[in-house]
Amino acid sequence: MNDSAPPSDLLEAATAVQAHAYVPYSRFPVGAALRTPDGRVHVGANVENASYGLGRCAEQSAVQAMASAGDRTFVELVVVSDADPPASPCGACRQVLFEFGADADVWIANRDGAVRRTRVRDLLPDAFSLHAP
Ligand code: THU
């Protein structure tokens, strides 16, 4: 599986932040890196909690970092895990990603070089929106 190589800087950033994942419960570290239209890069890792339901996925951490920095759109996203095949963003993440990057390109990767390329819009067809279609 190697649909198309991810942007190398985003792959590096996602891999680097994956090492910061706080995953004492699942032992399933995930890293995410996204790029805004102006070229800024924001990253996030998954951060779990003893109260399991309070854990935060990597993709959502990256979106939170982006929005907290004042950015409102991303155009590219790379997600890295150790899973084979690479782990696709969960349903909740898809909705969060759609809010800020419906048209973004997405590379779902692992550290063995497996990659699947898709788009946020294709990951979440018929997304919920408050705006008129
Ligand atoms: N996880 C993510 O970070 N992103 C996803 O899209 C799915 C799952 C995290 C949540 C939890 O910390 C671990 O992976 C196992 O579910």
| Residues 25-73 pLDDT 10s | 999 999 999 999 999 999 999 999 999 999 999 999 999 999 999 999 9
pLDDT at 1 over 60: no
**22 Cα–ligand 1 center, Å:** 11
Q: Is the pTM of this model over 0.75?
A: yes
Domains of the chain as residue ranges with CATH: 8-123 (3.40.140.10)
- Interatomic CA distance for residues 88 and 130, integer angstroms: 25
Q: For the beta carbon of residue 50, count every other beta carbon within 10 angstroms.
A: 8
Q: Catalytic one among 12, 48, 59, 76?
A: 59
pLDDT at 114 over 70: yes
The tokens of 102 are what?
Answer: 């419906």
**29 Cα–ligand 1 center, Å:** 7
Edge-to-edge strand list for the sheet holding 105-110: 41-45, 31-35, 76-81, 105-110, 115-119
Residues facing residue 31 across a β-bridge: 45, 80
**Region for 51 from its dihedrals, namely left if φ exceeds 0, alpha if ψ lies in -120 to 50, beta otherwise:** beta
Query: Given this model, what pLDDT does residue 88 score?
Result: 97
Query: Given this model, what pLDDT does residue 4 score?
Result: 86
Interhelix angle 91-101/58-68, rounded to 10 degrees, is 30
Query: Given this model, what pLDDT does residue 126 score?
Result: 94
> For residue 3, what pLDDT band results from cuts at 50, 70 and 90?
low
Nearest partner of 118 among 109, 103, 105, judged by Cα: 105
pLDDT at 133 over 70: no
- CA-closest residue to ligand 1 atom 13: 28
pLDDT at 115 over 90: yes
Query: Given this model, what pLDDT does residue 85 score?
Result: 97
Q: Is 76 part of the annotated catalytic residue set? A: no
Least confident among 2-11, 29-38, 75-84: 2-11
